[in-house]
Structure 1
Amino acid sequence: MKKAVKIILWSVLSLVLLVVLAGAVFFYKIQNGFPVSYETEKPAINFPANQPAVLVFSKTTAFRHGESIEASKPVFKQIGEQNGWFVYETEEGGVFNPEQLKRFKAVIFNNSTGRVLNDEQQQALGQYVEAGGSLIGIHGAGDNSHHWSWYETNLLGTQFSHHPIEPHLQTTDVHVETQVDTTLTHKLPQSWALEDEWYVFFHQPKGAKVVSYINGDQIIPNGNILWTKDKNFGMGKYHPVAWYRTVGKGKTFYTSMGHSAKVWQDANFVELVENALRWSLQ
C-alpha cells in the first residue's frame, strides 16, 4: 500500500514539475524567442516594372500568431492587386540587404516576433527607413521579444508590458483621431467595435501621432498569470492602438490590433492597414 502511495505521489510531483517547466519555457519564448539561424542568401525576386513593391515579412522566433498571419496573406494579395502594388511575402531574412531593400517602398513586419534578423540585417533595415523607406508593424511586431533598441524607439516609441488574460479577447470601440494625416483615416468611421487582444504599453508612444485609440477604462487590462502578479494595470482612458512618425527621411506606422484571423475579416481594420500602406508609399 505504501509503495503504491509513493508511486502516486512521485507521479503527481513529476507532472507538476513538467507543467512548471513547460510554463517557464513558454514564457521565456514569449519574451526572448529561441535562438535561430539567420537566412543570408539573397532571394531571386522578379520586380515588375512600374509597380510599387511591398515586402510582407512574417517570420517569427517567439510566439507565433499563426492564424492571423495566414489570414492576412490573401488580404495583402488582394490589396496589392486592387492598387497595382507588387506584394512579396516571405519569412526568409535574406531579403534584408541594402540592394534589395531599396527596391521596396514599404516593409511590413506582419506579426513578426522575436529576433528575426541578424545584426547586419537590422542595420540594413534601419538605414533603409532613415534614407526614405517605410516600416509598418502589426500587433506582435510590437511585443517585447525583439530586443532591438532602434526598432523599439523608431517603430514603437514605448515598451510593451502585457495583454489581458481573462478575458483574453475583448470587444470595445476603436476611435479615430481627426487631427492626423487624412490618408490614414480615409473611409474610416469615427469609431467602430472590434474584438481583439489589446496590448498594454508602459507609456504613451513618444514622438508619434496617434491615429486610433480605445477607452482603456472600458476593458479589463489585468495580465496577471501564474507567478506574474504586477500586470493589473492599463493605459487609462486614452489608450492608443495605432500611431505613426517620421524617421529621418522615412516613415513608420504601428498598430497593436491584429491578433486573430477574425480581424482580417473586419473591413475597417483592413481599411486602416491599406491606408497605412498608401500613406507609406506617398
Structure 2
Amino acid sequence: MAPTGDNLDEQQKKDLLSFIHDDGKGFVGAHTGDDAFFDWPEFAEMIGGWFDNHPWGVFDAPVIVEVPSFPAMRGLPRTFTIHDEIYEHKNFSREKVHVLASLDATKLDYTRPNINREDHDFPVAWAKMYGKGRVFYSTFGHSDEVWNNPMIQKMYLEAVKWSLREVGEDF
C-alpha cells in the first residue's frame, strides 16, 4: 500500500485494521505508505509511524542494514548507498517496531532545514506485529529508478512473502 492522503471511508478503515489485527493478514507499506491518514491514529499504530518530512529530498542515502537475517534484508549489502527520497518519521519509536535498516547518521548533512528528529534516528525499513498480523514498511520507492532496482524489488518481494507468512518468524 502506498497512499498519500485519506482515501478510505470509516468501514474500509475498520475492515483494513481487522484484516491485519484480527485475521492475521499481512500489510506492506512502500514509500508514501505512511504519508496518509493523519487523522486516523490507529493507522499510525498499525504501520509504526507517520511521514514527517524528507529533509534531504532525493539524495545518495547512506544505509546500514541492522538485521541482515530478516528475509527482506537478506539480499541487501550490510551498507550501501541508494539515490532516493528518504522520509523522516513522527510518532515512531524503536520500542514499537523492529528497525531493519536505517540511515547512517554519521554521514548525514544536519545543516539541512526541517530535520525534526533530535535523536538522529532515521529508519528506512522496519517490521512489526499488529495483533495477529505482520506489518512491513520501507521508505524506499520514490522514483522508477528505485523501483527498477533488482535489490529493492527483491526486498519488497521478500517483505510480501514475510507478511504472508511464507518465510520468517513473527516478532
TM over 0.5: yes
Compared CA separation, residues 251 and 221, structure 1 to 2 (3 A): farther
Question: Structure 1 unaligned runs (5+)?
Answer: 1-108, 225-230
Compared CA separation, residues 145 and 281, structure 1 to 2 (3 A): closer
The residue aligned with 1:278 is 161
* Counterpart amino acid of residue 208 in structure 1: V
Distance in structure 2 (CA, Å) of the matches to 1:264 and 1:152: 24
Compared CA separation, residues 268 and 179, structure 1 to 2 (3 A): closer
The residue aligned with 1:129 is 20
Q: Is the Cα–Cα contact under 8 Å of residues 128 and 136 in structure 2 kept in the other structure?
A: yes
Question: Structure 2 unaligned runs (5+)?
Answer: 166-171
The residue aligned with 2:104 is 215
Task: Determine helix, strand or coil for the equivalent of 1:196.
Answer: strand
Q: Is the Cα–Cα contact under 8 Å of residues 168 and 197 in structure 1 kept in the other structure?
A: yes
Distance in structure 2 (CA, Å) of the matches to 1:117 and 1:134: 18
Structure 1 residue 252: Cα displacement: 0.8
1:151 paired residue among 27, 43, 59: 43
The residue aligned with 1:185 is 73
The residue aligned with 1:82 is none
Q: Is the Cα–Cα contact under 8 Å of residues 37 and 43 in structure 2 kept in the other structure?
A: no
Structure 1 residue 146: Cα displacement: 3.8
| 1:230-245 matches, cutoff 5 A | 231-234=114-117, 236=119, 238-245=121-128
Task: Determine helix, strand or coil for the equivalent of 2:57.
Answer: coil
1:173 aligns with 2:65: no
1:119 aligns with 2:10: yes
Structure 1 residue 161: Cα displacement: 2.0
The residue aligned with 2:169 is none
* Counterpart amino acid of residue 102 in structure 2: Y
| 1:52-71 matches, cutoff 5 A | none
Q: Runs in 1 of length 4+ with deviation above 6 angstroms? A: none
Structure 1 residue 241: Cα displacement: 0.6
Distance in structure 1 (CA, Å) of the matches to 2:47 and 2:118: 19
1:262 aligns with 2:161: no
How many matched pairs? 163
Compared CA separation, residues 188 and 179, structure 1 to 2 (3 A): closer
The residue aligned with 2:31 is 139
Instruction: Provide TM-score, normalisation by structure 1.
Output: 0.52
* Counterpart amino acid of residue 187 in structure 1: G
Coordinate RMSD, CA, aligned = 2.3
Q: Is the Cα–Cα contact under 8 Å of residues 38 and 50 in structure 2 kept in the other structure?
A: no
Compared CA separation, residues 281 and 144, structure 1 to 2 (3 A): closer
Structure 1 residue 163: Cα displacement: 0.9
Higher relative CO (Cα under 8 Å, sequence separation at least 6) belongs to: 2
Task: Determine helix, strand or coil for the equivalent of 1:178.
Answer: coil
Structure 1 residue 121: Cα displacement: 0.4
Instruction: Provide TM-score, normalisation by structure 2.
Output: 0.83
Bigger radius of gyration among the two: 1
